[in-house]
Amino acid sequence: MSETAHRYTAELADQIELAWQDRWEESGVFNAPNPSGPFADPEKVASYDGGHMLVLDMFPYPSGAGLHVGHPLGYIATDVFSRYHRMLGKNVLHCLGMDAFGLPAEQYAVQTGQHPRVTTEANIVIMKRQLRRLGLGLDNRRAIRTMDPEYYRWTQWIFLKIFNSWYDREAVRPDGGLGRARPITELIADFESGARALPDGDERSWSDLSAVERAEVIDSHRLAYASEAPVNWAPGLGSVVANEEVTNDGRSERGNFPVFKRNLRQWMMRITDYSDRLADDLDRVEWPEKVKAMQRNWIGRSHGARVAFQVVGAPDGTEPIEVFTTRPDTLFGATFMVLAPEHPLVDSLVPQGEWPAGTNPTWTGGEATPEASVTAYRLAASRKSDVERQMEGKDKTGVFTGAYASNPATGTEIPIFIADYVLMGYGTGAIMAVPGQDERDWHFADVFDLPKIRTVQPTEGHPEDEAFGGEGPAINSANDTLDLNGKPIAEAKAAMIDWLVAQGFGEATVSYKLRDWLFSRQRYWGEPFPIVFDTDGVAHGVPESMLPIELPEVPDYSPRTFDPNDAASEPEPPLGRVREWVEVELDLGDGRGVQKYRRETNTMPNWAGSCWYHLRYLDPENHDELVSAATEEYWVGPRETPVAGAPAGTRDPGGVDLYIGGVEHAVLHLLYARFWQKVLFDLGHVSSEEPFRTYFSQGYIQAPAYRDDRGQPVEASEVEESVGEDGQSAFTWRGQPVTREFGKIGKSLKNMVSPDDMYAAYGADTLRLYEMGMGPLDQSKPWDTRAIVGSQRFLQRLWRNVVDEETGEVRVVDEPIDDATSRILHRTIDAVRRDYDELGFNTAIARLIEFNNALTKLDAVPRAAAEQIVLMVAPLAPHIAEELWSRLGHAESLTHEDFPVADPALLVEDSVTCVVQIKGKVRDRIEVPSDISEDELREKALALPKVVEATAGGVRTVIVRAPKLVNVVPL
RNA sequence: GCCGGAGUGGUGGAACUGGUAGACACGCGGCACUUAGGAUGCCGUGCUUCGGCGUGGGGGUUCGAGUCCCCCCUCUGGCACCA
């Protein structure tokens, strides 16, 4: 240590890093100016010749456990990218807020009585320290927190906008498409003027309706509405949750409690009105295909037809049974129908009295009459939870209703069943069953001995006893007025739909899996709804002037929770206990004067705050608007050119230029945020149609975890590794052998690795470099603490190339860069730029190491070379780069220095190594001038002794790819 | 079951439109400097019976395949009775 007092050690890194972090903070060098408003600096904005860029991360929830080394991965990546683009002359905005509402703080509050705000603020302090130590170049003036009233005031404001609007399917959008949100006042005006008729053929005029009746009509159009509907109720959690938050084994994502379908009055968001736009606009953004696919899948748009089936023997005017099918071409093969047990038409279908003559005994469920059978089946089905339904797998159950319908294509009478494999929530809740082409229907037909008619010719070798879902010509599909036989599926579908329309039996239609978004939660720690109910139970939005509706203090933070399996329990939100807050007298400014109201006691889900935070970052000090129009348009307005890979003719939707976060939010946050953005766009509050024009999902860092012989995780930091005689690693914990696996970092696997430890042992720059060097950003990869030293060694060599370790003096020389080094330098610049552009940080680091190693081999490093590598390293390891830059004699931070530019003339080599292959195998190499002609190269290659030897019998062909390759093929 | 993604040295990973497989790093081995080194520097490191063989396995296209096509295996993500 004594002889190398100025070595780049962890201690020195610590000093340098803390010093530069202070300097950055004091100078506000990462503060990005706005064109107008509170952070306005129009001159500075105009001074950026490279334009502007908004780079964001999915913001963190401040957990009590602090960060682990997996968390910063995305933040480092966005920081490197941002710093690089600042050096390209752009006004880069990179900032990070806190997703401060959430369940953990509330659960802690329930246990300890400590206010969630206190817990959350304490956690934020810890997290901010850890993040600051990482050296992120953030605009800290914009570090918004969702729990602050000044923030959630605008969350509530957006809710009011959504509540006060409706989706007009006929309205024309600026892009010419149909359908957009409009203020609810315009709908009311239409009703008042009579321009719009009342629903359900009600012929009264608007003024004839009572206030409650009007509210009912209006509420049925609102984009946010309270309704009594089947929702996911988790008694153990004490709250309802959204469809997206239910795992596929029927449990709540939070807390893993059983979830039951219950009819409860809850707030919903009419996201289904946006199904098409949410699906279509995925083409306009640059996202991982995987995530787009997940969203498309979740929206679940399928094109098909509605077909009406008349019930046989029903009195005139009886409603037909409507089915949805994606395969109208198979209608000739529909041999029975199935309704969901809850289908509203079931009651009217079931005939009184005995089973029809000749009813197959297996269809009756063992009951004496259709009515008894249907009642019993429906009861059994209603008692089954989703989990139980799933456990039954594909075993088909059901009963005959006793009624028949007429197949419109064939006129055949087909039996109508109810069965729980048909879901009320999708399509029309009724299907035409086509066993020939549908596996599920085939199974059902097997169980109930129903006929099967193939209407598509199966491919050869297709098993006789299976449905055929593949492509083929139609068969058995003709009647007096329609002949589909021989047509391929697509053609047959179109022909059938035309026929159905002509005959009045049906029409083409589209069905979606997406359901409306359940938006209320029975929790304390969330945004209160800006909603009050009058004495008639009608919901009113409070005037904007009353915002924010602040979260009141409560004696008890917990919702009432129940036995997790008590499906019959009722939610009870904590806010309901604060009577003086709930019961208010207000003048809503609607002309009714002061009235008695009850406040909504549910709170908004955690997603609310994160649906729009990307907008608030832009203008966080604006107290008059969510974001000013000019500022919004400057940062996220549509760009001239669409994103890469967009279909021809696409208009850019605008949005965040780079958004990085975990793929676990693919159908939650990322879908909800898109929905809110589109509503705000429709209502004219933003110019961008998408929140995130480019989204990148980073992989996870997995850390080794160890289990003992009982399978219990043991503390990973206490495990010792030894290499056995067979060369394989063995692991022991307190003397006992344990097995290693790689998994998510956290408490449950006892494999926590804290960035604090890495700062102490190596410094932040080394940690940053290691995390960025591990591999492609989108891949998950294993953490290996002992490999970090490689990153440290690189920085030490870089340091040593500039600073004398013994004296601390700068040791670069003021001499020109020699030609060979210059060529390496420019090739490095070229490659590093390309890598940085594409988030290829791992390969950029490899190039920088190579160049640095080349400098190490020189007797002395020319100043210009040192400066160039320092600038190139700066985005990745900003502290050491700033320190070296300053020691090299620059007074200013390098934040806005120009990134090195490669000279194209220096990218081409004078001579290159040419590979000489014989029959495709490398046999020799020759140095040739890089501008060698094909003929000359061919001659040179053919003259080589090895080639002469191999071609003694003659030459068949010679492939020349000058200057790098010659392939000789002998006869 | 359906739809994606991925299989490259002991390890993490490189390889632009088909054209020198294994960049860079860890680990490992050797040497130097050292009282010592787990510091630093330098050298080596896919396997090999030294003919060759090598990018999960098998076939194909091509002068030439990690890269393109077909079949199969394994791992992994999402959806899951969605009509």
Residue nearest to nucleotide B5 (CA to C1'): A290
- Domain A302-511 indexed as CATH 3.10.20.30: no
Looking at residue A611, its pLDDT comes to: 96
**Could you check whether A302-511 and A797-904 share the same CATH topology?**
no
Looking at residue A390, its pLDDT comes to: 63
CA of A457 to C1' of B61 (A): 33
CA of A216 to C1' of B59 (A): 68
Residue nearest to nucleotide B65 (CA to C1'): A920
* pLDDT digit string, tens, across residues A722-776: 665 555 667 888 888 888 888 888 888 888 899 999 999 999 999 999 999 999 9
Measured CA to C1', the nucleotide nearest A298 is B79
**Calpha distance A137→A128 (Å, rounded):** 13
A909-970 is classed in which CATH architecture?
Roll (3.10)
* pLDDT digit string, tens, across residues A663-696: 989 898 999 999 999 999 999 999 999 999 999 9
Looking at residue A391, its pLDDT comes to: 64
Measured CA to C1', the nucleotide nearest A856 is B41
Looking at residue A713, its pLDDT comes to: 85
Start-end of H helices in A48-139: 72-87, 103-112, 116-133
Q: Residue A208: how many CB atoms within 10 A of its CB?
A: 11
Residue nearest to nucleotide B81 (CA to C1'): A421
CA of A728 to C1' of B28 (A): 13
Listed by start position, the domains of chain A span: 302-511, 797-904, 909-970
A912 near A964, Cβ under 8 Å?
yes
Residues 6+ apart with CB under 8 A from A649: none
**Calpha distance A902→A889 (Å, rounded):** 23
In sequence order, the β-bridge partners of residue A241 are A232
Nearest to A866 by CA among A826, A905, A813: A813
CA of A782 to C1' of B8 (A): 18
**Strand-pair category, A539-541 with A531-533:** antiparallel
Please, what are the averages of pLDDT over each run of 10 residues along chain A (971 residues)? Answer: 73 94 96 95 94 96 88 95 97 97 86 90 94 96 97 98 96 93 96 90 89 94 90 84 78 81 87 95 92 93 94 84 95 95 91 90 91 92 69 79 94 94 90 93 92 90 84 92 93 95 94 92 93 95 95 83 80 87 94 94 94 97 96 96 86 95 91 97 97 94 86 84 62 82 84 91 95 93 91 94 89 91 93 95 95 91 95 97 96 96 87 84 83 88 84 84 85 77
CA of A843 to C1' of B22 (A): 15
Measured CA to C1', the nucleotide nearest A797 is B40
CA of A708 to C1' of B51 (A): 49
Measured CA to C1', the nucleotide nearest A957 is B63
Measured CA to C1', the nucleotide nearest A511 is B82
Measured CA to C1', the nucleotide nearest A294 is B78
**Calpha distance A698→A136 (Å, rounded):** 18
CA of A355 to C1' of B14 (A): 73
CA of A919 to C1' of B60 (A): 19
- Tell whether ipTM is more than 0.90: yes
CA of A279 to C1' of B61 (A): 39
Nucleotides of B under 7 A from a protein CB: 3-5, 11-15, 19-21, 23-27, 39-42, 53, 63-65, 77-83
Q: Residue A511: how many CB atoms within 10 A of its CB?
A: 18
Looking at residue A2, its pLDDT comes to: 40
At A86, list the tokens.
């600042």
Residues of A marked as binding for ATP? 747
Residues 6+ apart with CB under 8 A from A680: A158, A161, A612, A615, A686
Q: How far apart are the first and last CA of chain A?
A: 67
What sign results for the dihedral spanned by CA atoms A276, A277, A278, A283? positive
Residues 6+ apart with CB under 8 A from A94: A30, A32, A54, A55, A56, A78, A79, A82, A136, A137, A138, A139
**Calpha distance A518→A270 (Å, rounded):** 9
Looking at residue A274, its pLDDT comes to: 96
Read off the amino acid at residue A496.
Answer: M
Measured CA to C1', the nucleotide nearest A395 is B81
CA of A343 to C1' of B6 (A): 44
A798 backbone dihedrals φ, ψ, rounded to 5°: -60, -45
CA of A130 to C1' of B19 (A): 49
b/e burial code for range A799-810 (CB count within 10 A of at least 16 → b): bbbbbebeeeeb
Our CA angle for A150, A156, A590, nearest 5°, is 115
DSSP letters for A317-341: TPPPEEEEES-GGGGGG--EEEE-T
* pLDDT digit string, tens, across residues A206-241: 999 999 999 999 999 999 999 887 788 888 888 888
**Scanning the structure block, which residue is given the tokens 């979740």?**
A298
Long-range Cβ contact pairs of A125-129 (< 8 A, separation 24 or more): A126/A62, A126/A66, A127/A60, A127/A62, A127/A63, A127/A66, A127/A67, A127/A98
**Calpha distance A662→A57 (Å, rounded):** 9
Largest Cα span, chain A: 108
Measured CA to C1', the nucleotide nearest A248 is B80
Looking at residue A386, its pLDDT comes to: 62
Q: Which CATH superfamily is domain A797-904 in?
A: Isoleucyl-tRNA Synthetase; Domain 1 (1.10.730.10)
Residue nearest to nucleotide B64 (CA to C1'): A920
Query: What is the rounded radius of gyration, in angstroms, for the C-alpha atoms of chain A?
Result: 34
